[in-house]
Every structure is written in C-alpha cells, then in structure tokens.
Amino acid sequence: MVSRVIPVDAFDLVIFGGTGDLARRKILPGLFRRYCAGQMPSNSRIVGAARSKLDGDGYRAFVTEAIHEFGGGRSCEDGTLESFLKQLDYVSIDARGEAGWDELADKIKDSKLVRAYYFSVGPSLFGDLAERLHLHGLADEDSRIVVEKPFGRDLETAKALNASLAEHFDENQIYRIDHYLGKETVQNLMAVRFGNMLFEPLWNAQYVDHIQITVAETVGVGGRGEYYDKSGAMRDMVQNHLMQLLCLIAMEPPAKFDPSAVRDEKLKVIRALDPVEPHQIVRGQYVTHDDSPSYRKAVNDPRSTTESFVALKVGISNWRWAGIPFYLRTGKMLAKRASEITVVFKQRNHSIFEEDELEHRNILSIRLQPDEGITLGVTIKEPGPGGMRLIDVPLDMSFAEALGEDGGDPPDAYERLIMDVIRGNQTLFMRGDEVEAAWAWTDPIIDGWTQRGEVPKPYDAGSDGPGDAEQMLARDGRSWRPISS
Ligand code: NAD
C-alpha cells in the first residue's frame, strides 16, 4: 500500500542552530526525505542560521554530508540531492548580537510564503531569538516558531520561557516539539481508541486492571553526561515524553480531532494526576561491569545523585480512572531498546471451562519502537484433540507487514511534525499551559528527593532496572512486562 502524500504550501523555513547536532541528524535529512516525497514545493527555501562562519556552498556541503550519514537519501532518485541543495541557503548569525540579522531579513522579509523559524538551539537563546525576530520585523502574525525540548527545568523556568516567547508571538504561532507525538504509533493510538467501536467502551476502570508505559534505552549518557546529570530521567523523559503518552492513553474523547479539543483533554489528565508518594517511585543509576563507564564515571561525578532510571506508580483522580494504577518506567542502559504502552485488562469474572486453570487476560500492547505495531492478546482453544484447553495468542498488527514497504518505513517523527508546522496544525504540539501543568506535577517529586537526600539505587547495565521497581509492582500483585521479551 502506498501512503498518500498531501501537498503543503511553499514555505521559508529558517533553522536557527542549522549546523547543530539535531539539525544534522534529524531536521535536514528529514526535510530531504519530504522533498523526495514531493512535499517541498520548488519555490520553498530552507535557510540555515547559526554561529559558524560558512557561506552557502559551505552549508550545502555540510547538509550533503548530513544526508549521506543519516540516511536521508534512502528513497530518493539520482540528481534529487543536487536539486534539493539549490533550495538551501545560509546566514551566519548571532542570536545575542546584531551580526547577520539584516542579511537574514533581506533574504526572507518580502517573501509571501508560509514562514517558520525552527529554534534548534539551547533554550537560553529562545528569548533572544524571539526578540531579534521582532526587532527586525520578522515576527509578523503569520509566522510560526518551533521550539525544542527541554522546555524549562521546572515550573518557574518554563513560565519564564513561555513569557519570553509570548512577548512577540501568540500561542497559536508557537509549536513546542515533543517528537514522541510525531511517531506513527502514537497517532495510531488515537486512531485505535477513537476510530473503533471495540476499545473505547472497555477503556476505563471497570475493565482495565492497569496500564504500563515503558521507554527503555540501551545507551548510556554518552557524550551528554554533563547536561544529563543536571537533568535526570524525570526531567529528560517523564515530564515530557511519558507524560504525553499517558495523556493520550487516559484522555477523554475530544469532540473533534483539532488542536484545541485534543490539547484541552490532555491538560485535564495532567491536572487530575495524584501527587506521587515516596513509596510510589523507584530511582536508579546504572553500574557497568565491562569497559564502558558506570553512570557516575560517565558524568564525571563520583557522588552524583541524579537518576538514569525512574519507575513510578501514578494515579488519575477522575471518573474514568480512579483506582487504576498507571506504571511508568524509563531508563538508560537497560536490556533492550523498547518503547511500549501496555493496557492490561481485568481477568474475566467467571470461567465456564472446567479444564481452564490458568489466568487469562487480554493485553493490548502498543509498540512505539522498534518495530512499531499493535498486538492484542486473545484467549483461544489450544488446537488438537486435548479437550477444551485455553491458550493466549497474539493478534499481531505489525505496520511493516500490514502496510507493505511504504507503511513499514513511515516518515520520521520530525518530518511529520515539521510538515504539520507548515500546515499550521498544532494538534501534535504541546501548549504552554500543558507544559506548565506537567512541571507543576513534576516539581514536588524532584523537590522531595532533594529534601530527603535520596540516593538512586544501583542497577546493572543490561538489566530491567533496579529490583525495587519489580517489588513496587509485586506489592500490588502485578509485574512489569519484561523489557527483554
Ligand atoms: P548543538 O550544540 O549541536 O548546536 C547548537 C546550534 O546552535 C549550533 O548550530 C550553533 O551554531 C547554534 N548557536 C549556538 N549559540 C548561538 C548563538 N549565540 N547565535 C546563533 N546560533 C548559535 O545543539 P543540538 O544538539 O543541535 O540541540 C539544539 C536544541 O535541540 C537544544 O535545545 C537541545 O536540547 C534540543 N534537542 C537536541 C536533540 C539532539 O538529538 N541533538 C534532541 C532533542 C532536543
């Protein structure tokens, strides 16, 4: 099956931080793939804007290398890269000074195309960029800005960032990226919930036993040690990515699939989250037993108390979910790279089959990575003449298999989200009040650790995390889905 490519209007996209790591690995190769798919009209322009002193040719050489290295050219024909490069330009600019701004204004000011500014720079520059765009007459009401994570490190800093952007841009011009929301399966989660009759009637405390959300990485902190140590798994992953997944799983059906309706419902979930008690959280730090460095060595601080793993039991106080635990877990250096949402339904209340001694539960599992897909565990009769014995088997919908080659290689999250920016669709971006509400819930948890002087539990690299995380679920008579399965 070939996926439909919906055309977008021609655009000018300025990438501040256009020579950075994110631009090189994700944004530029992603744009090239959209170009190959016919989604970048020939009068569109991409302007890299960064501190490096490069000219247009130098930038095109940089982009060529990025595309070769990060696979942007996979589905493109010969000669297409050259024509893509013709639509690229570069300005050497200083976000905090005057250098380069007149040149940028000359290049784009009179253009009537859709205009978007991607702030692919550290958040400390967001306010400066907004201010300079305004001063140079580039912050007109039709333009859009895309901002990267981290959006603050607590409620106070998030509010300050929101305020600095709000000075020159309205909320409907601001696109706060959480690339998890751009994943095919995350959107499929909404399609499964709200596009089928089958699930929504069961999607509540009466039929669901509990829900697990796991985002497991096999890599350590790598070269980001210093940055990561100031952040930790709670700030880096839970406050944004896991929180967004939780919202989509738990929210009420919006009246329409439009930005305000969807984001209103997500916000209601965050506001209904219970405070988390200390016994509902396990923090961990990885320890290695080979040549790779343990967490504390990797961040160069033998006393670091930052967590590289966190598991939480979260409650949502509303009519639909009261009493149903949501177990969230994320960490580095775990057994396998796997992101999965699992909805475990309740045990049926009566069995008519005499020979059936086992517990059978329907489990809906939504894999975000790797191998995006959805599996529903159902109970059937064991084949053969052995009587009425029941077994659980998966009904598997792997997108790669079901949708053929094209469906198996869906656009990267960044590609999809950038195209949404051009279309002016904010549904899959976080609104300012959502981000602030998420920090308002997260802050007391982190403050509690500091006040109590809590030290994370060590866990072995390559494991499923600290044993305490297993025990937290065992106390409830439940267990985590093994990460390595
Ligand atoms: P980077 O350090 O690799 O690149 C920073 C870019 O900003 C460079 O192009 C640099 O020239 C430019 N820059 C720095 N100071 C400037 C100034 N005063 N004026 C103009 N340009 C300036 O950073 P990165 O890894 O590309 O990350 C960019 C943003 O994206 C950060 O907010 C980061 O947290 C976020 N992010 C990055 C990743 C990733 O995978 N790299 C993932 C998620 C979010």
Tell me how far apart the alpha carbons of residues 470 and 123 are, in angstroms, rounded to a whole number: 36
CATH superfamily of 181-417+433-474: Dihydrodipicolinate Reductase; domain 2 (3.30.360.10)
Helix, strand, coil share of the chain (percent; to 5): 40, 20, 40
148 CA to middle of ligand 1, Å? 9
Q: Which amino acid is at 143?
A: S
Residue 407: per-residue pLDDT: 47
Helix spans in 136-294 (H): 155-166, 184-195, 225-229, 232-233, 243-250, 259-271
What lies within 8 Å, CB to CB, of 357 at 6+ separation is none
Q: Which residue has the tokens 């909404």?
A: 190
Q: Write out pLDDT tens, residues 8-37.
A: 899 999 999 999 999 999 999 999 999 998
Angle at the Cα of 168 (from 162 to 170), degrees rounded to 5? 65
Domain boundaries, the chain: 11-148, 181-417+433-474
Residue 73: per-residue pLDDT: 55
Q: Write out pLDDT tens, residues 67-83.
A: 999 875 555 667 889 99
298 CA to middle of ligand 1, Å? 21
Residues with CB under 6 A from ligand 1: 17-23, 50-52, 93-96, 120-123, 125, 148-150
Strand, coil or helix: 259: helix
**4-18, 231-245, 287-301, 368-382: the lowest-pLDDT one:** 368-382
**16-30, 230-244, 407-421: the lowest-pLDDT one:** 407-421
Average pLDDT rounded to a whole number, residues 237-250: 97
Q: Which amino acid is at 96?
A: R
Tell me how far apart the alpha carbons of residues 45 and 89 are, in angstroms, rounded to a whole number: 7
For the domain spanning 11-148, the CATH number is 3.40.50.720
Of 14, 15, 22, the one to substitute when testing ligand 1's pocket (max ligand atoms within 8 A of C-beta) is 22
433 CA to middle of ligand 1, Å? 25
Residue 408: per-residue pLDDT: 46
Contact 294, 288 (CB under 8 A): yes
The catalytic residue positions are 241
Burial class (CB in 10 A: 0-12, 13-18, 19+), 175: buried
